[in-house]
């Protein structure tokens, strides 16, 4: 899982309407943060957003897929609750921000429960 500085910059710029966007390298990828919470991740120069059950259904219907973590040692890969967004959103910052806003709101709601 590698991630390029250029792709991180692209994602942060793409989500700039959400406010201040930061990223942090982690486990060979990068977390994408706004308002102090991680709402997206980047792995192998692919963007994934945090999803709630409704978003999962919608993204699945649009042909998007989950980020899968492979722990190795013969264990089954696990979904981490992050999914790709439609390819059209990668070309349209306004569409990306709609998905990003929903992911951010879900991430914020999960943080409040902690």
- Reported as a single tens digit per residue, the pLDDT across 27-66 is 888 999 999 999 999 999 999 999 999 999 999 999 999 9
Q: What is the mean predicted confidence (pLDDT) over 99-103? A: 97
For 36, the enclosing helix (H) or strand (E) is: none
Strand-pair partners of 69:
78
- CA-to-CA distance for 32 and 46, rounded, in angstroms? 12
75 pLDDT more than 70: yes
3-class secondary-structure state, position 21: strand
1 pLDDT more than 70: no
The pLDDT > 70 percentage for the chain reads: 97
Domains of the chain with bracketed CATH: 5-113 (3.30.1460.30)
Which two three-digit tokens encode residue 58?
């919608």
Instruction: Find all residues with CB under 8 Å of 41, minimum gap 6, and list them.
Output: 29, 30, 31, 32, 47, 48, 67, 80, 82
Q: What is the mean predicted confidence (pLDDT) over 69-94? A: 90
15 pLDDT more than 70: yes
Beta strands at 46-50 and 66-69: parallel, antiparallel or unpaired = unpaired
Mean pLDDT of the chain: 92
């Amino acid at each position: 899982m590698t991630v390029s500085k250029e792709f991180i910059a692209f994602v942060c710029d793409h989500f700039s309407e959400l406010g201040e966007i930061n990223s942090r390298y982690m486990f060979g990828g990068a977390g994408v943060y706004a308002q102090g919470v991680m709402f997206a991740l980047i792995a192998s120069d692919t963007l994934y957003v945090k999803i709630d059950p409704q978003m999962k259904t919608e993204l699945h219907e649009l042909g998007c897929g989950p980020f899968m973590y492979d722990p190795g040692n013969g264990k089954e890969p696990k979904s981490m609750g992050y999914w790709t967004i439609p390819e059209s959103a990668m070309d349209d910052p306004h569409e990306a921000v709609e998905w990003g806003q929903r992911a951010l709101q879900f991430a914020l709601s999960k943080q409040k429960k902690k």
